[in-house]
Structure 1
Amino acid sequence: MEIKELKKVSDFLLGEENTAYAPYFIGKSYLSVLNTKEVFISNVTFEPGCRNNWHIHHGSGQILICVGGHGWYQEMGKEPQYLKSGDVVYIAPEIKHWHGAVADEPFAHLALSIPVEGASNQWCEAVTDEEYSKLK
């Protein structure tokens, strides 16, 4: 997918290819850090079919604000949620989950978190192609 097409996903900056977290994603994502004062805010853009691995935020939760395209969010043991622009997802600390784009279009969300001393992310197993292909 051309970067020009990805820039149309939302009004927020696309940012750079998310190489630092690439080991925890299937497909390409892009990251633009928007704010680091008091609340950490970044725009994450996923190419079609891109999703992150299952992961857990220890010590601090996260809020996703969907700003373009369509995507998926799923907590371990629950049904996946279809996401569209304007949807907001609160992820409590210690909840194993994943999120990403639908198979045929890009997706962008703002990720908000409060910096907490000692907080960390635990990256877990990938969402397999078999699991992902079952999403409708």
Structure 2
Amino acid sequence: MSGWAPELAALITESDTEPVHRPHFGLPIDHRWPRVPGVTLLGDAAHLQPPNGEGANLAMQDGAELGTALAAHPEDTEAALAAYEQAMFARSADLATDGITMNRILLGDNAAGKLIAVLTGG
């Protein structure tokens, strides 16, 4: 924590407990699952990726798009689910890439300096 403000470093160094290191898990960006009749995933279940602040947005958009697909195919649930999944995979790929990039910035070497550069456009 060289170069950190003492007040910020103290939040970690003067804690009553040791830090708990927890792994972040994610699926490859191009991960797809085979269609299972009558079943699909949405929200965090469909987007296992490092946290980047987009989980709730993805879940709400997934729900809206799934509803739209079901309404567009009222007699063919499988067509609706296939259409939803195709659009969902394409839509979420960029956000997954952003999450992986942000994870590398926040958890890598010189994280504070890299985050400052992101936030200041540097």
Fold shared per TM-score above 0.5:
no
Richer in strand (by share): 1
More helix by share: 2
TM-score by length of 2: 0.24
Question: Which structure has the larger Rg over C-alpha atoms?
Answer: 2
Q: Which has the higher contact order (CA 8 A, sep 6+)?
A: 1
